[in-house]
Amino acid sequence: MITRNTIDQVYETARVEEVIGDFVVLKKSGSNFKGLSPFSQERTPSFMVSPVKQIWKDFSSGKGGNVVAFLMEHEHFSYPEAIRFLAKKYNIEIEETEQSNEEKEKANSRESLYLVNKYAQESFSKDLWEYPEGMAIGLSYLRERGFSDETIISFGLGYSSERIDHFYQKAIKSGYTEEYLVKSGLSIKSERGAIDRFRGRVIFPIRSMAGRIQGFGGRILSNTKKTAKYLNSPESEIYHKSQVLYGIFEAKKAIAKEDVCYLVEGYTDVIQMFQKGINNVVSSSGTSLTPGQISLIRRLSSNIVVLFDGDAAGLRAAIRGIDLILEQGMNVKVCTFPEGEDPDSFAKSNSLENIQLYLKDEAKDFIQFKTDLLLKESDNDPVKKATTIREIVQSISKIPDAIQQEIYIKQCAYSMEISEVVLFNALAQEQNKKDVPVRKRFSSITEESQIQKTPDQKNNADPLLILEKQIISILLQYGSHEASFNELYVTSDEEGNLIEESKTIQSKVYEKIFLDLQQDEVELIQPEFQLLYNQLIELFQTKGEIKIDKIIQQTDPNLGQILTDILIADEVHQLHDWEKKNIFVKDRKSAVGQLVSETILTFRRYLIDQKIKSLVESAQKSNAMSEHIEFLEDVIQYQNLKKLLSKKLNRVL
């Protein structure tokens, strides 16, 4: 595990504008930089980088955060991978926490496997381009398949000699041990010694999401040998076939940007389509799709289009695996090619425009595709048709979203000419098998939406959350500032008359906010805002100030997103060059006292409104509106307090 000291050093050294500048063309805009969004197609810049605050914000997609968050979003690194990437870029030595001997041995073993695989890829590639056998057999084959030299290099393709231990001997001479050559599956230990697993094959390196070589696929080129056409690396500490996708490293950016992933069967399908310009394509490497592979795609997009060969004999069996995609709540479409064609041949013989048009027009919703396919097979046989309906309902039952289920049931009822009630009953039976709650067909929609909302989405509807966000914003930007606050004090004279007195006090902004909220015993409603509020107040009370570059180092992406939105909000005008149009933005710092007072008073007034509403609703439920004088007294008291707060708001200077 990477030490906190290393993580801190990475954050202190890495410059967000330098790192993002390697991926996005940035132009100076005031104290910030701006550029075109790397997450969407656009013509005018909506992407902003703040060197002072060390954050970035993409206004077209809503994404934002610190330098690590950018690498996690753009390169789809995990948190440790992003830290390691930055450490390597800035030549920072990575310190690991103390590990047990067993943990050290395991970590060393994994790293050794990655290193031997890296060497193997380089060796196979060198043999393809420089070794006579590789050039005559391997390179000729790849070029005959229509792959350009640039594509061959880009995918790191290679060749393994037909000699029984050609690679093994090279690796041993280069200092690699037999132990890891065997563990990686590159060599096989036999009674006669070590032999090369992939001898006489074209080599396809299989990379992880981060680009490290996990394993290899090899295609035999000799027709005389009685052996498998394709051969993969065996399972190892770093290669689990059920958790890898060929082409995921090359395709990840395009998948995220296009928000759809094309799934094919073979290595050459991926390479040919990629060469033609369809970059958001991956392969399951000839295996049935697994939950681990689906999870990799889901990190990038919730939309999958499965591409099948036109004459795929096992088409019916293959589509069964797609139910796994539905179970994970993803959207699935299916596209088949004309008879005799596969993604490789179709891409090779068509232009990019024709391929894109074909994929757009021919991709069908999976449930509809399965319905059409099974209906043809049933051939109007009532028994077969009943079986077909059950199979389709089984697929629909995999979908976690109740609304989607209902839409599909209605479509299925129309296509199958069967009543919706019967299909809903069949769906209920399937769900009962899995011991999940069954939704009644004619039940009313629940009052509360089940869709999770981010704080920003909630802000659009809830004034309290807007005010909570404003409080966090004030603390972040002006918390340690001292400001003047106009306070209205109410006392009474000897005769009981109310006397209002206005006083101006000097106080730290964070002290004013903390004391006012503490006085009302108020906690922020949004959990993320409350968490940030507690963090900020603790820092102010212990250190007297906060450092933006430190507070932005949130491991929780959601908190980082909220902080970025708040910190960059005042600078969005720089994207549009408002000053050049004689539109000048007022600096809030000049009226921070008024801003704090108005925010807190308004916040308290909304809380009182909610309290009054709660009292009225409680009284109505218990029919106590006219029976309990205490209720009326409470409401009057809160109404008077609300009037006082409104008066204070009108008096804020």
Q: Token pair for residue 485?
A: 């606050």
Output the pLDDT for position 348.
92
Output the pLDDT for position 635.
60
Query: Which CATH code is given to the segment(s) 101-239?
Result: 3.90.980.10
Output the pLDDT for position 470.
85
Considering 362-376, 544-558, 637-651, the range whose residues carry the highest mean pLDDT is 362-376
Each residue of 170-180: pLDDT tens digit? 999 999 999 99
Output the pLDDT for position 310.
59
CATH class of 4-89: alpha beta
Output the pLDDT for position 30.
80
Q: What mean pLDDT do residues 627-631 have?
A: 56
Closest CA to 593 of 478, 503, 466: 478
Confidence of residue 615 (pLDDT cuts 50, 70, 90): low
Q: Name the DSSP letter for residue 246.
A: B
Closest CA to 267 of 344, 325, 322, 330: 344
Residues with Cβ within 8 Å of 155's Cβ and at least 6 positions away in sequence, in order, are 204, 205, 250, 271, 274
Closest CA to 346 of 419, 281, 302: 281
Locus of tokens 């205490």: 630
Output the pLDDT for position 613.
73
8 A C-beta contact, residue 620 and residue 612: no
Q: What mean pLDDT do residues 315-333 have?
A: 75
Output the pLDDT for position 448.
34
Considering 133-137, 311-315, 415-419, 569-573, the range whose residues carry the highest mean pLDDT is 133-137
Q: Name the DSSP letter for residue 358.
A: H
| Cα(225)–Cα(204) distance, integer angstroms | 20
Q: Calculate the alpha carbon distances from 488 to 282, 503, 606, 645 in Å.
A: 67, 6, 19, 9
Q: Name the DSSP letter for residue 38.
A: S
Domains of the chain, residue spans: 4-89, 101-239, 242-362, 377-442, 458-571+586-653
Q: What mean pLDDT do residues 405-420 have?
A: 82
Residue 584 pLDDT > 50, yes or no?
Answer: no
Considering 212-221, 522-531, 583-592, the range whose residues carry the highest mean pLDDT is 212-221
Output the pLDDT for position 499.
59
Residue 169 pLDDT > 90, yes or no?
Answer: yes
Residue 620 pLDDT > 90, yes or no?
Answer: no
User: Which fold, 242-362?
Assistant: Dna Topoisomerase Vi A Subunit; Chain: A, domain 2 (3.40.1360)
Q: Mean pLDDT for the chain?
A: 79
Confidence of residue 438 (pLDDT cuts 50, 70, 90): very low
Each residue of 490-546: pLDDT tens digit? 555 566 555 556 677 787 888 888 877 776 666 787 888 888 888 888 888 888 888
Considering 159-168, 319-328, 371-380, 630-639, the range whose residues carry the highest mean pLDDT is 159-168
Confidence of residue 29 (pLDDT cuts 50, 70, 90): confident
Residues with Cβ within 8 Å of 557's Cβ and at least 6 positions away in sequence, in order, are 65, 69, 72
